Amino acid sequence: MNESHPVVFTVLLFSILREKVGRAAVDVAVPAPATGSALLDALEAAHPAVAPYRPVIRLAVNQTYVPESVRLTEGDEVALITPVSGG
């Protein structure tokens, strides 16, 4: 991976985030080194509607919950999970 260029991730959005942003998926360019929190910062800058939900968002990478400190790899499937309400 070339460290000098940002990496683009497709971020999946659901429920209220999908509605607030107006799309089910958005591409986000994350400066290297790409971490979960860098991705959230970049996403929030591009889509301010996400900001109010930042404290409750859990990050999922490749369909597993991960801490925001996670190091992202090109091609990772990233999803933002607001507090779930199944059942």
Partner 1 sequence: MHEPLDVAAADAYLRDARCGGLNLFVGTTRQWTGTRETVELAYECYEPMAIKEMQRLVDEAKARWPIERVCVLHRLGVVPVAEASVVVGVATPHRAAAFEACRFLIDELKVQVPIWKREHYTDGTTEWVQGAQPPRVEGEG
User: Residues in the site for partner 1, rule: CB under 8 A?
Assistant: 12, 14-16, 18-19, 56, 58, 60, 63-65, 67-69, 79, 81-87
> Residue 2 or 75: which CB sits closer to partner 1?
75
> Residue 29 or 81: which CB sits closer to partner 1?
81
CB 33, min distance to partner 1, A:
18
Find the DSSP H helices in 1-87. 15-21, 36-46
Q: Assign residue 6 a region: left if phi > 0, alpha if psi is -120 to 50, beta otherwise?
A: beta
CB 50, min distance to partner 1, A:
15
Which among 15, 9, 13, 49 has a CA at the least distance from the CA of 29? 9
